[in-house]
Amino acid sequence: MASHERRSARRVDQDLQAIGALTQAVLDGMDVEQLLGRIAAEARTLVDATLGVVVTVAGSPGIMRFRAVDGLGGGNVRVGFEMPVANSLTELVLKRGTNVVAPTAAEMPVPDRDLAASLSNRAST
């Protein structure tokens, strides 16, 4: 089996495990906040990220509220923190109507880039 095919099969297996874990959480009657935490954790694991968050967006011009945080956060990255949607990855998601994964900090809007830099510095110390 080619290396690419092994990676693809491994990715499908990871996706199925994440879906299974979330389905089980729903079946177990997990409350909404716990379920959001599981979603943040599974999403972070699937894309091998340092940080996974779930936010809700309300109002105009748009404020996002952190509902779940999993991984290396710090500072303001905590459940309940609020920040503007403008100039963020969340704004890109809302505009494009699809997921956005930024492989490097350089590909992120400035507020998110600053957050990524603070997480990198924290992780290396």
Q: Which residues sit opposite 54 in a β-bridge?
A: 68
Domain ranges of the chain: 3-124
Q: What gap in Å lies between CA 91 and CA 24, rounded to an integer?
A: 31
Q: Side chain identity at 100, as an amino acid letter?
A: V
The yes or no reply on domain 3-124 and CATH 3.30.470.10 is: no
Beta strand extents in 48-111 (DSSP E only): 51-58, 63-71, 82-84
pTM score over 0.85 = no
How far apart CA 118 and CA 125 sit, in angstroms, is 11
Q: What mean pLDDT value characterizes the chain? A: 79
Note down pLDDT in tens along the chain; length 125 residues. 566 566 677 777 777 787 777 778 777 877 888 888 988 898 888 877 888 888 899 987 799 999 999 987 666 778 998 988 998 888 888 888 887 777 777 888 877 777 777 665 444 32
